[in-house]
Amino acid sequence: MTPAKDSMVQGGGRPWPITLDNWQDAPLSRWGFAHAEQIVPAAVIRASDPPEPSPSAEGHGLTGLHVPLDDREVPLDNFLSASATDAFLVRDRDGIRYEVYDGEMDRHRRHLLMSVSKSVCSLLIGQLVAEGALELSAPALTYVPELGESAFGTATIQQILDMAADVDYSEDYHDQSSHVRLQDRIAGWRTRLPEDPGTVFDFLTSLRSCGPHGRRFQYCSAATDVLAWVAERVTAGRYPDLLHERLWRHLAMERDAQITIDRAGFAFANGGMSTTARDLSRIGLLLLDHGVAGGRQIVPAGWIEAITRGGDPAAVAGTVFSEVHPRGSYRNHWWVTGDDHGSVYATGIHGQYLWIDPAAQVVIVKFSCLPVATSADWSHRHARVFRRIAETL
């Protein structure tokens, strides 16, 4: 991989012209995803004090590795370039085995996680469930009465975690009239329209149901923001502070993370987190180690076991995910492949990945700026490459 070249650069390294409505579009997204806090207001998720640098392990074993790309085998670097990679890291418990950066990225630079953020939220919810602050069978309105008229009000916490809440909500990233694009505008990611709800709180309470909960899988980004609202309500804390107190400070993170916030200061839990590749890999290690970090049980082992055990594959039948992972399922805001390694992963649009292979004891992080938000072809290509790497190590 070679450093990206951008002819549209002004003083200070910011591409020009860049606006609130084009920073997520290629080729400007290469800069935008690595500098989100310069575009959208963000809160800090404080790191460990003092931070603990990630060790590098000798003999990564990936030099000269060829990986599958459609109907041919290509060098790993070729795949990384073809898939618009900004950062790529492979590690195990002994340390980092392989690490490359391109474009705006280096080991100290944060990158937008998109929906990988959802899976981080799950770990916080797992802690609150274990402490008795939340009941999985309780409807969300138990904790946030303001959701009483919303579709999410009668959905249980477990249904929301498993994307089984039935909501009149469009997740079409390319449709400007979709709910997910509206939510982007409310969160400050795009230019607001005069008729848009004022805050994410207003938006969540306005959503309505279109059927009984639990009858189908419906991927809905708003679900994670409901969970973050519930977490804030039962702890009387703000979401970025909760992530610091309950996760970040225990995981020896090297750098502060950030999360974008709306005009009311509410964190965009479903996709607004930015971290370094090294720090995100520590979340992967936490799953490999059954919720233990630094000799302490940070996330309940039972919660990690529930994730890796997976859910009902029939629930996701007919989705793009099931085409890529025929035995896969979705559980507690994580994707479960159902493969013979027990691999699970978190993913976000435009090619963000946190892949965990328990059999190989390998964690893979990939930050990207693919021009397309989602693609069955790219999902399949990434899964094949990640499996090849895990088998090699």
Residue 140 pLDDT > 60: yes
Task: Kindly indicate the confidence band of residue 48, based on its pLDDT and cuts at 50, 70 and 90.
Answer: confident
Residue 287 pLDDT > 50: yes
Spatial separation of the C-alpha atoms in residues 222 and 180, rounded to whole Å: 8
Q: Give 107-119 as a DSSP string.
A: TT--EE-TTHHHH
Catalytic residue among 29, 83, 115, 119: 115
pTM score = 0.94
Residue 307 pLDDT > 50: yes
Task: Kindly indicate the confidence band of residue 122, based on its pLDDT and cuts at 50, 70 and 90.
Answer: very high
Q: Quick one: average pLDDT of 317-331?
A: 96
Residue 9 pLDDT > 70: no
- Tokens 């085998």 belong to 73
Residue-level pLDDT at 8: 47
Can you list the positions of beta strands (E) in the chain? 42-45, 66-69, 72-75, 85-92, 95-101, 111-112, 257-260, 273-275, 292-293, 296-297, 329-331, 334-336, 344-348, 352-357, 362-368
Q: Quick one: average pLDDT of 299-309?
A: 98
Spatial separation of the C-alpha atoms in residues 159 and 138, rounded to whole Å: 10
Residue-level pLDDT at 1: 56
Task: Kindly indicate the confidence band of residue 3, based on its pLDDT and cuts at 50, 70 and 90.
Answer: very low
Q: Is 47-114+241-392 a CATH 3.40.50.2300 domain?
A: no
Spatial separation of the C-alpha atoms in residues 329 and 312, rounded to whole Å: 6
Q: Quick one: average pLDDT of 13-32?
A: 91
Residue 56 pLDDT > 90: no
Buried residues in 255-284 as b, exposed as e (16+ CB within 10 A): bbbbbbbbeeebbbbbbbbbbbbbbbbbbb
Spatial separation of the C-alpha atoms in residues 295 and 298, rounded to whole Å: 9
Report the range out of 62-66, 157-161, 207-211 with the highest average pLDDT: 157-161
Residue 164 pLDDT > 70: yes
Which of 41-45, 49-53, 276-280 is predicted least confidently? 49-53
Identify whether 50 is preceded by a cis peptide bond (ω within 30 of 0).
yes
Residue 2 pLDDT > 60: no
Quick: pLDDT tens for 166-181. Answer: 999 999 998 999 999 9
Quick: pLDDT tens for 356-379. Answer: 999 999 999 999 999 999 999 999
Residue-level pLDDT at 63: 78
Percent of the chain with pLDDT over 70: 95
Residue 304 pLDDT > 50: yes
Based on the residue annotation, tell me whether 115 is a catalytic residue of this protein: yes
CB atoms within 10 A of CB 324: 19
Task: Kindly indicate the confidence band of residue 7, based on its pLDDT and cuts at 50, 70 and 90.
Answer: very low
Q: What are phi and psi of 234, to 5 degrees?
A: -80, -15
Residues 157 and 332 sit within 8 Å (Cβ to Cβ): no
Residue-level pLDDT at 94: 86
Spatial separation of the C-alpha atoms in residues 189 and 42, rounded to whole Å: 11
Residue 58 pLDDT > 80: no
Task: Kindly indicate the confidence band of residue 11, based on its pLDDT and cuts at 50, 70 and 90.
Answer: very low
Q: Quick one: average pLDDT of 267-280?
A: 98
Q: Quick one: average pLDDT of 104-112?
A: 96
Residue-level pLDDT at 54: 75
Residue 218 pLDDT > 60: yes
Residue 195 pLDDT > 90: yes
What does the mean pLDDT of the chain come to?
A: 93
Fold for domain 125-228?
Methane Monooxygenase Hydroxylase; Chain G, domain 1 (1.20.58)
Q: What are phi and psi of 80, to 5 degrees?
A: -60, -40
DSSP state of 373: S
Would you list the domain boundaries of the chain?
Answer: 47-114+241-392, 125-228
Residue-level pLDDT at 152: 97
Quick: pLDDT tens for 226-241. Answer: 999 999 999 999 999 9
